[in-house]
Amino acid sequence: MTRKDFEGLPADDLEALRRFATRSTYPRGTTIFRQGERPRELLIIEKGELELIYQTRSERFVVQLLHAGSSVDHLAILLGIPYPYSAVTLSEATLLRLRLDTIRALEERFPEIAFRWLGLLAHALDRAHQRLLELAGKSAVEQVSRLLLHESAERDEPTLEVTQEELAATLALSRQTVSRAFHDLASEGAIKPERRRVRLLDLEKLREHLPR
């Protein structure tokens, strides 16, 4: 879920969740949980950013970048399965932690929250499916443009604290391919790459690379 999902919950719902959560802060680069571990609590990002990482013996993929207001891999909790990814902080991050037994108690005490949350989850899954369809078969410039626009909209700011390596891992592209796409977009005046971040200068020029 993203911040938009939690914005869909009434303020009373969010306050109910906060009352029963514990708050923890972690420095950049902290592994919150590892791929294969079983979830013991629901995590909600109150501040900062995380990345979900899927690793094989030879490769490392960034599956998703998560921002403040997002829950962290809630599907593993709902399905009762081990985490398919690892979660690592991209910046100092503050998390709200809800134990699984607390969640079950909340479902009994506030069943309307659970019902609304399931509806929001369905919308989140539909958006994820649509994103996969949108990226399938697209050029590197199209994929990078769409991802930059998506992340800018999620964070509601024109400067993204993200590296080319992280974008490459997210899109399953090589670092060199993303670098060439950045060069093309920068030459058009659409973006300005900086150290460990990229500034979006012209959103309309980025949108011109999206399929009509």
Burial zone of 182 (CB within 10 Å; 0-12 exposed, 13-18 middle, 19+ buried)? buried
Q: What is the pLDDT of residue 7?
A: 45
Q: What is the pLDDT of residue 3?
A: 47
- CA dist list (Å): 188 to 76, 104, 133, 201, 205: 42, 52, 27, 10, 8
> Per-residue pLDDT tens for 84-129?
889 999 889 999 888 878 777 776 776 766 666 666 565 655 555 5
- CA dist list (Å): 166 to 52, 59, 172, 174, 181: 11, 13, 10, 10, 14
Q: What is the pLDDT of residue 189?
A: 94
Given a cut of 50, whether residue 5 has pLDDT beyond it is no
Q: Provide the pLDDT confidence category of residue 169 given band limits of 50, 70 and 90.
A: confident
Give the Cα separation of 66 and 84 in Å (integer). 16
DSSP-based helix, strand, coil % in the chain, nearest 5: 45, 25, 30
> Per-residue pLDDT tens for 56-70?
777 777 777 888 777
pTM for this prediction? 0.57
Given a cut of 50, whether residue 8 has pLDDT beyond it is no
- Could you give the strand order of the β-sheet that contains 50-55, starting from the edge strand earlier in sequence? 31-33, 86-89, 50-55, 60-66
Q: What is the pLDDT of residue 98?
A: 83
Quick one: CATH architecture of 137-207? Orthogonal Bundle (1.10)
Domain boundaries, the chain: 3-132, 137-207
Burial zone of 201 (CB within 10 Å; 0-12 exposed, 13-18 middle, 19+ buried)? middle
> Per-residue pLDDT tens for 139-168?
889 888 988 888 888 777 888 888 888 788
Q: What is the pLDDT of residue 12?
A: 57
Name the more confident of 191 and 81. 191
Q: What is the mean pLDDT of residues 11-36?
A: 81
CATH number of 3-132: 2.60.120.10
For the packed helices 111-135 and 100-109, what is the interaxial angle rounded to 10 degrees? 120
The amino acid sitting at 79 is: L
Fold agreement between 3-132 and 137-207? no
Name the more confident of 73 and 206. 206
> Per-residue pLDDT tens for 189-202?
999 999 888 999 99
% of residues, the chain, pLDDT over 90 = 23
